[in-house]
């Protein structure tokens, strides 16, 4: 029987590892919980109606169809048995199956972190999945539609207030795009409201937005945000999220608490490891870092397990950032290492990351790019940002359609991708009022279940009374 290679995850790391293993003469299996590769850096443009989901996704089977010994499987990694060399996965219907492996590449990625307050997710979707983007699009578009039907400015105000938690690239890009949507695409489409009056609040715990960038670029980005009307609040943490708004607490004394009425709250503040990472760490007997990432050696293998590689956001090595280029280079490296082990090349002892730069879109014709000592901003930064993102899209079709869509938006100022969905057909067929109340009932039931579980836990831990 030939050697078997299993790759967990079809993101940047997994896809680039698989592309190195198309012709190795081994049985290569890529497993992912979705059917498509998602270009996460442009999720916020899908969420704000600039791009469609088809322009930022590519079917994994299509991308990897040229691999004669490479197959793609839909499933979610659950656990591994390193002694038996088996990965256990779950199908969509909940049933389990196993995948034997001789070599394992884990590129499972990260998920949105709510820092111990997962209850916020029901009111504040994150920005990590396509479902997140579509949910955010629905919240943004319907907020303007709701405001159009309300009779007073006081009633409209919460619907025209958008709160974004997190001042990193995703939060800044999302906040800027909401303002652009309001001031350009929607500016002349409503009768009763002026969309340009929409408030966009950006909350960040640090002393400047985009802290990973050079201070000069960060300051440039802040000026652009101020110019387009984003209200930035620095040095504050979001400490409560509800259906009606958001609460912030200042980091400095006297730790002032401020409440903002906002019907749309969006969350981009931090990531954490997916549940599979914890089981992986336990099975491999390694201690994950504070974010749940798996420590790896210089060749990206897990200590004590030379046949297991971890790449992308999930790996912990030299404080490398969780960006697409790290995942792509790590995936290629791990794929080449497996090729070498299988006799198709020479193994390299150390992974060396080449920093090709970091970029963030701020507003129309305004972006920042940092490549080593080179800092670009304004129009030049914007053009560079566009070239980088077009080049990194997974397929020629994605590149062409995205470029044409951007060109059409620049020429006309319109955004055509504003259709909203309701999550599933059963919800969509319900009258509006029933949809709303069923969502509230689910939230109330979840809260009740949590309270009951906590009470049961207290009962179990209390000492017996005489």
Q: Which residues of 60-86 are buried (b: 16+ CB within 10 A; e: fewer)?
A: beebbeebeebebeebbbebbebeebb
32, two tokens:
């992912």
Give the number of other Cβ atoms within 10 Å of residue 395's Cβ.
15
376, two tokens:
């670009």
Is-cis flag, bond preceding 254, omega within 30?
A: yes
Give the ranges where 253-377 is alpha helix by DSSP (H).
275-284, 324-341
Q: Up-side HSE of residue 37: CA atoms within 13 Å toward CB?
A: 28
Q: Tell me whether residue 147 is exposed, middle or buried, using C-beta atoms within 10 angstroms of its C-beta: 0 to 12, 13 to 18, 19 or more.
A: buried
45, two tokens:
């443009």
Give the number of other Cβ atoms within 10 Å of residue 220's Cβ.
22
User: Which residues 6+ apart lie within 8 Å of 144 measured at CB?
Assistant: 159, 160, 182, 186, 190, 193, 195, 198
Give the active site residue among 76, 86, 148, 173: 173
Contact indicator for 50, 40 with CB cutoff of 8 Å = no
**Distance (Å, rounded) from C-alpha 318 to C-alpha 303?**
15
Long-range own/partner contacts, residues 222-228 (CB < 8 A, 24 or more apart) = 224/176, 224/362, 224/363, 224/366, 225/172, 225/175, 225/176, 225/362, 225/363, 227/363, 228/176, 228/179, 228/180, 228/183, 228/363
**Distance (Å, rounded) from C-alpha 425 to C-alpha 70?**
34
User: Which residues 6+ apart lie within 8 Å of 104 measured at CB?
Assistant: 5, 6, 7, 8, 80, 87, 307, 308, 309
Our answer to whether residue 272 is catalytic in this structure is no
- DSSP lists the bridge partners of residue 245 as 261
Active-site amino acid positions: 173
């Amino acid at each position: 029987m030939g050697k078997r290679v299993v790759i967990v995850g079809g993101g940047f790391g997994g896809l680039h590892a698989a592309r190195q293993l198309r012709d190795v003469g081994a049985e290569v299996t890529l497993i992912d919980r979705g059917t498509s590769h998602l270009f996460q850096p442009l999720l916020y443009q899908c969420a704000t109606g600039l791009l469609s989901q088809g322009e930022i996704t590519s079917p994994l089977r299509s991308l990897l169809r040229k691999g004669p010994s490479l197959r793609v499987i839909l499933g979610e990694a659950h656990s591994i048995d390193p002694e038996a060399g088996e990965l256990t996965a779950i199908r969509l219907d909940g049933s389990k199956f196993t995948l034997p492996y001789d070599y394992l590449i884990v590129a499972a990625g990260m998920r949105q972190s709510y820092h111990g307050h997962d209850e916020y997710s029901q009111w504040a979707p994150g920005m990590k999945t396509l479902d997140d983007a579509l949910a955010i699009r629905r919240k943004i578009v319907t907020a303007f539609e709701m405001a159009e039907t309300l009779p007073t400015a006081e009633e409209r105000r919460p619907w025209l207030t958008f709160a974004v938690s997190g001042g990193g690239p995703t939060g800044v890009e999302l906040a800027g795009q909401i303002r652009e949507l309001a001031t350009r695409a929607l500016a002349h489409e409503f009768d009763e409201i002026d969309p340009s009056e929409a408030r966009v609040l950006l909350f960040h715990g640090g002393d400047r937005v985009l802290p990973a960038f050079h201070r000069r670029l960060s300051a440039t980005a802040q000026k652009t945000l101020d110019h387009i009307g984003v209200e930035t609040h620095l040095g504050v943490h979001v400490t409560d999220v509800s259906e009606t708004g958001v609460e912030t607490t200042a980091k400095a004394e006297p730790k002032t608490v401020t409440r903002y009425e906002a019907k749309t709250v969006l969350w981009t503040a931090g990531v954490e490891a997916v549940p599979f990472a914890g089981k992986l760490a336990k099975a491999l007997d390694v201690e994950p870092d504070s974010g749940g990432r798996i420590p790896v050696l210089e060749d990206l293998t897990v200590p004590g397990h030379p046949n297991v590689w971890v790449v992308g956001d999930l790996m912990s090595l030299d404080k490398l950032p969780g960006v697409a280029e790290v995942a792509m280079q790590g995936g290629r490296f791990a794929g080449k290492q497996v090729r070498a082990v299988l006799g198709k090349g020479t193994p390299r002892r150390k992974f060396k990351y080449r920093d090709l730069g970091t970029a963030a879109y701020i507003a129309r014709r305004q972006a920042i790019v940092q490549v080593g000592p080179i800092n670009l901003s304004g129009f030049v930064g914007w053009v560079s940002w566009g070239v980088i993102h077009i080049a990194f899209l997974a397929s020629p079709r994605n590149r062409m359609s995205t470029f044409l869509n951007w060109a059409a938006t620049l020429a006309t100022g319109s955004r055509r991708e504003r259709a909203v969905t309701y999550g599933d057909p059963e919800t969509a067929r319900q009258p509006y009022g029933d949809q709303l109340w069923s969502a509230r009932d689910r939230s109330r039931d979840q809260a009740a279940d949590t309270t009951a579980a906590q009470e049961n836990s207290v009962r179990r831990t209390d000492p017996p009374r005489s």
